[in-house]
Structure 1
Amino acid sequence: MRTFIRKQLIELLDSMKQLQNELPTITGKGKIIQLLADCQEAAIAIGETLERETSDYEQIVSILESYSEEAFHLSETQEEMISKQMLFVLDELTDKVNLLLTEIIPVYHVVFLPYKASMWDSLESIWLAAKEDKRCECYVVPIPYYEFDSMSNRWIEHYDGDEFPEYVPVVHYRDYSLEQNLPNIAYVHNPYDACNMITRVDMRFFSEELKRYVSKLVYVPYYVTGGFIAKEHLGLPVYQHMDYMIVQSEYAKSFCMGMPYYDKILPLGSPKLDRVINLCRNGSKMPGEWQPMLNGKKVLMLNTSIGCFLQEGDKYFQKIKKICQVIKNQDQVAIIWRPHPLLEATIKSMRPNLLEDYNKLKAYFTENKIGILDETSDISRAVAISDGYIGEESTSVVNLFGATGKPIFILNNYIADSFTKEERSRVRITDALKQEDKLWLGTNHINALFYMDVDTKQVHYAGRVENQPKWYGTYPFFTEVEDKLYLSPSFAGCPAIFDLNSFEQKLIRWKDTEKLAGFSQIVSWKDRIFYFPSIGDSIAEYHIKTGEWKYHTECLEMLWKEVGKEDAEKQGLTFRCSVCGNDIWVSAAYTNYVLRLNMEDGTYALCPVGEKENGYSGIIAEERYIWLAEVNSGNIIRWDRRSGKTKIYSVPEGFRTWPGTILGRRLPHVSLIDMGKWIVTIPGFSNCMIKLDKITGKTSLLLKSFWNKAEKEVNGYSPNQFLTSEFGARWDENKLIVQRNCDEAVAIINVDDGTWDMFYPTLNKADYSKMIDGEDGFEKREKKSGFFRRESKIFSLEGFIDDLVHDRLTGVRERQLKELSTLAANLDGTCGIKVHEHMMNVLDNCE
């Protein structure tokens, strides 16, 4: 019997007892007979309901029949009043019925409301547990949804009810009434309601509407993350109406701290992971039509998601075509290609001009027998069959492979071909320090320090900071104090120190070592080190002698206050800095305010410079003037600290800039170099350097021929995606050193006469081997990220395929599963069982 029906019967029985209690107070034979007749009708209604709703009714119905006979007998008496003693039998019979009703084991009505069949795996393991529970009546009711077609400017209706697995009994939504069934639990996996501009469910199934009829509304995310919850997913409509939300882990729940629904979150894992784990454990049968293409080969799953397509469009398609060509030229590996279920709908809605290219790409894949184009609704089967994953990082599919221990290779869509040995040995530079006959070099590509022989220009590998990510730009910037390099942590958990004499390194512990620090620029002053963040909360100050930390938070909050922290972090909370006396001056790309921080006492001021819409990248602080590189126009601004007046130096003829990846900013220059008489710019998203004569105010292009490749795409480089340069520094009194990103060529330039020498900073064979020997490229960057190898100059797609074919990746599985222990709870495949058990306890306690 349904719980709400039992509740209704008990309430009806209570109303009968109330009528019985009123009888002794009523006079008049007619009124007494009517009340007794009402009690009889109620007893009959209870009996009929029991006969219809349960098989365990005979004893109660027999008691109700006795009740009706006793009520009839009382109505036949000639008394004008009914005494309490005369009602003793009726009271005793209703008490017996009440006891027996409460002893009936309730049946809970549980409904699952998926919309896309391809996302059913996010609910299935809960359904499997519920359908085996005799206390539950389970229903799977796929609901209609709509996809927006921008070409016709209308919403197209879809219904996936006929695409669910055969073993799932589906009820058509037209044959199911929420109002009549009043479910005890409804499980949903769409959180958006009306907030999705590409796909949305029918408004009859918005969370607010569902809650009108459902006792417990449970939201289960349709995706799997690396163990965290993204900011943009913290304010979705379903949160206002749900009773519970299932998340992967306690760590994931921590991202919702302070949200009003925090206590509704159950960190029990993910049903999506249940399905994949159990399929891999028990084996997944390969469809017969797949076998001729896949049997006897290693199988890679290629996943293509919406996010990467929207960001990179045709570049994305070119990369997939390249992968197809690599696979076509060998016979040991095949691909299962699974486009995101909504990818085609997204192309039609948001990039209709690319629909033909997409269809041609699918045709090329199938005609050349690259593998299987899997557009079925069951992704778990493809994961179970595959030996590894290739694709982008920002997709939940990565985490399905992570949970199974299968190797993951993250593609770089800008790498179109193999690199030569010489190209792989080149060093990308972000910072430099000259010390006698050595030039120490920092990089933002990997965790490594290098030094270059000043005379021969030969680059050597000095080592890396241990126990930090190896294949990310962990420490791109540094400063020197007493023959020690203090390293600023970017993709690292904490700062580090490198001894220039012994080459020893050590970590500096601080407040939070589990997440990426996100720092950029670094400055030494007296016995202190200042770290300036790209993301985060504070400018950090470290006292070398005491080991104490101090955090400057308020000044940073005031700097980003007008634009908001989220937008500020997308552009870098701080960009560049320059020291003058006790003050350090800090620029930011998102505001025309420049921060002055007194390093002695921590006082600060925000100084508005130029137009309100301005932002600044490079900065040079002098006693009287502050020089700034404006991020929109590319003009150089000179601000007089005494008068507050500004002077604008326009870019010279022939200087071009273009939009890049910095939110709302063109970023023509990344930094400014003070060369005494000259101010020199380092190009960002632009075609050349500029030198400015401080005295005459004349600007001119510098080293135009060196930068002529900046606007051309080459393997691994695109001008709209990557900065023209990320490095420039003073070499000596008259010269500076710069590097262009397109091919990592370095030039040493005489600023006065424009003469220059060019070379490639390259490791010799021994140093390159020292850097990569014994390394497979697999690692977990931080607690909330996955465990994988990234495509780069060092680690190629062809190399990954070769390692897979020759079984050189067997040791990855154990490391991967250990590193991903924070990914989700119940990685034994029992999330669905745990969710069901919890919800049954909730309902039992409600009863």
Structure 2
Amino acid sequence: MIKIGEFIESLEGEGTKTVALLERYYESLYPIAEEIETIDISFYKRLQKQLITIENSIKSEFGAGKIEVAFLPYNASMWDSLESIWLAAKKDPQCDAYCVPIPYYELTRDRRLEKMHYEGADCYDDHVEITNWREYDIRTRRPDVIFIHYAYDDMAGNATIHPEFYSKILREYCECLVYVPYFITSASTIEEYSASLPGVLYANYVMVQSEAIRQSYIRHYKKFNEEHSLNFCFGKAEEKFVAMGSPKLDKAICSNESDYELPLAWRQLICKENGEKKKVIFYNTHMFVWLKNGERYFRKIHSVFETFKNRKDVVLWWRPHPNTELNFRVSRPDLLKEYMKMVEAYKSEGWGIYDDTSDLHRAVAWSDAYYGDGSSVTELFKVTGKPLLLQNALYQPSNRSQYAVELVDFYDDGEYLWFAASNYNALFRMSSSKWEPEYMGTFPGEKANVAWLFGLVVCNNGILFFAPYNAECICTFDIGTKAFGTIELLLPAPEQIEKGFSAFSVGKYVVFTGYSYPYIIRYDTETCTSDYCEISLEKGKMRHTMGQRYFARGYQTEEYLILPLVSRDEIFRYDVQTNLLERIYCGKARQGYYDIDFDGSSFWLAPKDGSAILQWDGYSQNMKRWCEFPKGYVCPEEFGNNNICCVGSDVYLFPNNANMVLRLDTKSGRISPATEFQSEAEAEKDEIIANWFHAKIVSNLIYALTMRPSSFSCYNIQTGQLRQEQILLDDRTGEQMKLLRQAACQEAFRDCVGQGNFCETPLVDVAGFCDFLQEDNLGCCGNAPSTNHAGDAIYAYVRARIG
């Protein structure tokens, strides 16, 4: 009897009803040994009744329907991806649920196990009962179900879970292995490799957040299966991937400020002297964005800190990705010291909250808004209904002049340069000699919060026409009457951004070429009507996809536009009179082109990858490559060069991300740095992704527009003189633009009601976001769902499939 009780306790632990009944039965048997001859029949019946009670208890507590489920989180901060499933299992009287955190290791560069990390009971809330991994022998216990949230096993470059817990091994010791991703995404697709990670392959079920994500997994999984001739040995795709929602959202929706205590120092930062709570902004820095941008990202964070340091109305709650330090140590040890220095400085200054705990949801519950890189955390904030501003790591507002105005292109009427600002919804003109901008008005019908409304501008019969880059419509301005106008796009745009960049004035027509917009628009200035020419890249197919880009710039002849394609090694000719588009060159290179110019005998092209300067005769299928670049020239493969300008026998190439403006002497074949522009090319690119954005020739002048704030250059080809200035507004106009910027912020954050978030731009930055939060606008960002039951649904689904 005693041995039976001990055996039950070894399996089920202390406190079971059955063991208590066995103990009482044992106590009832003791008198029998003393007075067996005097025991009456009623006593015997009582013993028999006790045995029946014990039998029923055994059936109830340890019946065939009872299962054992093990949850194996490796990182406590990611426990939220499993917790609501665990809670559902705990509620099931026919289930024994165990939370068994497992250790993980940092990896050396040669992939040896180094430092071990174990986040045990101290890292979890008190209500989560933790079983030490050394005390739970999976091989002996063989649980019915194992839930995991880490699928990489030994495939990650920086760390690995303990090899005993690789998914291939776990699959052997349970009836059902279930993988629930520790992350959620705002996208509708996943990276292709995600569908072939070990944890995905060996899992019986993969629980995903939505049907769109499920279909993405299925596509990539089937592709992997076919490429490796696996014959679906890891399971059928439609059965393996199940869309049940994410438990992470369960936690976010159910968490409130009152659920979490704060350290005294944090509470003192958050509360004003009158006891009111300041606005709290959750600041999330993602490790991969940091590693990718390196030193530039450090400068970005410093600028963010400067924005918050002296504000008394908001508090920054900085919570770096939990694996940031580990990734610096493994992947960028050269930056680890700088990272640790930044963290220690932030903590010691004491003006903001530094949170490296495992309790993500405390930060979500106490925060009023989100600012930072895109990650799973943004999705948590969306379901809470709180506003979000996604950080632009390349933009640093602290380096901008308060009254600087930026432009993409201009039209020179001989007296004034006319331009639409790229950082305001505003039209300006300035004397071609003084460069002092005069505000002419705002484009009607266009939003104040959209940067880069327009691309290039042309003039036809005294009317300016602006190409709709991010604008809703083609906009016009009559120089004589000072009247604004609009030309609507008659055919729908697949994307609302980067519609068209270039515009050309050809006789009575103004032609706009599509960038993401899959049409060329020919506007007749006499009849005020528009004709559309569809851009067809595949013969016989009119198929346009998201992300497709067509024409950036082109070259204009008397009858035609010569248009190089951005996405492919192809060139088209557009007949303005007939409104027909024809492919005239089709090469085999992988790159497309951003610009083309003509020197009188040859066309010259700027390839997107910056690998060469290309010369084309205009009719053959061959191009000559000029690629003997000067020493020290560095150009990335993507977005290398931007503009090309022909000046006599010289060809100028202006860089996007390359580090030199180049001049090709077509007589000698020598490529050299164009030193007259080199100061800008070498300038540190704190805020932007490009050095030079647009260059054009007007008479004997080369105008070049840099993406550095407001820097406008004019090079006189004859005299060799360079004029370079910032375009600054006077105080009165600057105050007008300041009001426009404030209106832009308000408009942008209210627009995010349906979107859930807004991306930081030169018009809408974190300082404006802080101002927005002070005006009791938190309620404008949509209603959060009151409940979410992914954990219950996932557990019920798996429970029903266990034999």
Amino acid of the residue matched to residue 276 of structure 1?
A: A
The Cα shift of 1:193 comes to: 3.0
Matched, 1:628 2:605: yes
2:74 alignment counterpart: 115
Preserved contact between residue 651 and residue 690 of structure 1 (Cα < 8 Å): no
Matched, 1:553 2:537: yes
| 1:817 alignment partner, one of 779, 782, 788 | 782
**Distance in 1 of aligned mates of 2:512 and 2:397:** 41
Matched, 1:460 2:439: yes
Preserved contact between residue 489 and residue 496 of structure 1 (Cα < 8 Å): no
Amino acid of the residue matched to residue 792 of structure 2?
A: H
2:379 alignment counterpart: 399
Counterparts of 1:163-562 in structure 2 under 5 Å? 163-178=123-138, 183-232=143-192, 234-237=194-197, 238-250=199-211, 252=213, 258-259=219-220, 260=222, 261=237, 265-280=241-256, 283-288=259-264, 290-296=266-272, 298=278, 299-321=280-302, 323-324=304-305, 329=310, 333-390=314-371, 392-411=372-391, 418=398, 423-434=401-412, 439-441=417-419, 452=430, 457=435, 458-460=437-439, 462-464=441-443, 466=445, 470-477=449-456, 483=463, 485=465, 487-489=467-469, 496-501=473-478, 502-505=483-486, 507-508=488-489, 510=491, 513=494, 516=497, 520-521=501-502, 531-533=513-515, 539-542=518-521, 550-554=534-538
Amino acid of the residue matched to residue 470 of structure 1?
A: N
Q: CA 1:439–1:709 in structure 2 vs 1: closer, same or farther (change >3 Å)?
A: closer
1:190-241 CA distance string (max 9 Å, x none): 2323331112323443444444455554433222333533435653424434
**Distance in 1 of aligned mates of 2:306 and 2:703:** 40
**Distance in 2 of aligned mates of 1:370 and 1:321:** 14
Preserved contact between residue 595 and residue 642 of structure 2 (Cα < 8 Å): yes
Matched, 1:144 2:111: no
**Distance in 2 of aligned mates of 1:438 and 1:262:** 65
1:471-530 CA distance string (max 9 Å, x none): 44354356677857463445x7xx622133442436536556576567655668897966
1:273-325 CA distance string (max 9 Å, x none): 32233223754322346434544363443322211220222343344455556
The Cα shift of 1:799 comes to: 5.3
1:26 alignment counterpart: none
Q: CA 1:127–1:549 in structure 2 vs 1: closer, same or farther (change >3 Å)?
A: farther
Q: CA 1:212–1:555 in structure 2 vs 1: closer, same or farther (change >3 Å)?
A: farther
Kindly name which structure, 1 or 2, has the bigger radius of gyration based on alpha carbons.
Answer: 1
Amino acid of the residue matched to residue 279 of structure 1?
A: S
Preserved contact between residue 650 and residue 663 of structure 2 (Cα < 8 Å): yes
**Distance in 2 of aligned mates of 1:208 and 1:784:** 43
1:159-180 CA distance string (max 9 Å, x none): 2233222211122334445556
Preserved contact between residue 284 and residue 320 of structure 2 (Cα < 8 Å): yes
1:47 alignment counterpart: none
Amino acid of the residue matched to residue 682 of structure 1?
A: F
Q: Which structure 2 segments of 5+ residues have no match?
A: 1-15, 22-58, 223-236, 524-528
| 1:750 alignment partner, one of 716, 720, 735 | 716
Q: CA 1:275–1:505 in structure 2 vs 1: closer, same or farther (change >3 Å)?
A: farther
Q: CA 1:313–1:690 in structure 2 vs 1: closer, same or farther (change >3 Å)?
A: closer
Preserved contact between residue 457 and residue 464 of structure 2 (Cα < 8 Å): no
Secondary structure class of the residue paired with 1:672 = strand
Amino acid of the residue matched to residue 449 of structure 2?
A: K
The Cα shift of 1:351 comes to: 1.2
**Distance in 1 of aligned mates of 2:370 and 2:311:** 18
Q: CA 1:455–1:358 in structure 2 vs 1: closer, same or farther (change >3 Å)?
A: closer
Counterparts of 1:630-709 in structure 2 under 5 Å? 636-641=613-618, 657-660=633-636, 662-663=637-638, 667=640, 669-674=641-646, 679-685=651-657, 689-690=661-662, 704-705=675-676, 707-709=678-680
Matched, 1:830 2:787: yes
The Cα shift of 1:342 comes to: 0.8
**Distance in 2 of aligned mates of 1:767 and 1:330:** 24
Amino acid of the residue matched to residue 370 of structure 1?
A: W
How many pairs does the alignment contain?
Answer: 708
**Distance in 2 of aligned mates of 1:453 and 1:814:** 46
Preserved contact between residue 626 and residue 638 of structure 1 (Cα < 8 Å): yes
**Distance in 2 of aligned mates of 1:248 and 1:130:** 20
Q: CA 1:398–1:619 in structure 2 vs 1: closer, same or farther (change >3 Å)?
A: same
Amino acid of the residue matched to residue 768 of structure 1?
A: M
1:776 alignment counterpart: 745
**Distance in 1 of aligned mates of 2:624 and 2:111:** 52
1:625-665 CA distance string (max 9 Å, x none): 22124667776442334676766667897x863345x54x7
Secondary structure class of the residue paired with 1:157 = strand
Q: CA 1:504–1:284 in structure 2 vs 1: closer, same or farther (change >3 Å)?
A: farther
**Distance in 1 of aligned mates of 2:476 and 2:181:** 48
Amino acid of the residue matched to residue 375 of structure 1?
A: D
Preserved contact between residue 105 and residue 135 of structure 1 (Cα < 8 Å): no
Amino acid of the residue matched to residue 638 of structure 1?
A: Q
What is the root-mean-square deviation in Å for CA atoms of aligned residues? 4.8
Amino acid of the residue matched to residue 627 of structure 1?
A: W
Identity between Structure 1 and Structure 2 (%):
24
**Distance in 2 of aligned mates of 1:557 and 1:754:** 50
Amino acid of the residue matched to residue 701 of structure 2?
A: K
Q: CA 1:273–1:552 in structure 2 vs 1: closer, same or farther (change >3 Å)?
A: same
Secondary structure class of the residue paired with 2:341 = helix
The Cα shift of 1:122 comes to: 1.7
- Most deviating of 294-303 and 510-519: 510-519
The Cα shift of 1:126 comes to: 2.5
Q: CA 1:307–1:648 in structure 2 vs 1: closer, same or farther (change >3 Å)?
A: closer
| 1:790 alignment partner, one of 739, 743, 760 | 760
Q: CA 1:274–1:107 in structure 2 vs 1: closer, same or farther (change >3 Å)?
A: same
Matched, 1:161 2:120: yes
Amino acid of the residue matched to residue 748 of structure 1?
A: C
1:332-368 CA distance string (max 9 Å, x none): 5544332221111111101112222222223222322
**Distance in 2 of aligned mates of 1:205 and 1:445:** 53
Q: Which structure 1 segments of 5+ residues have no match?
A: 1-52, 59-99, 559-564, 819-826
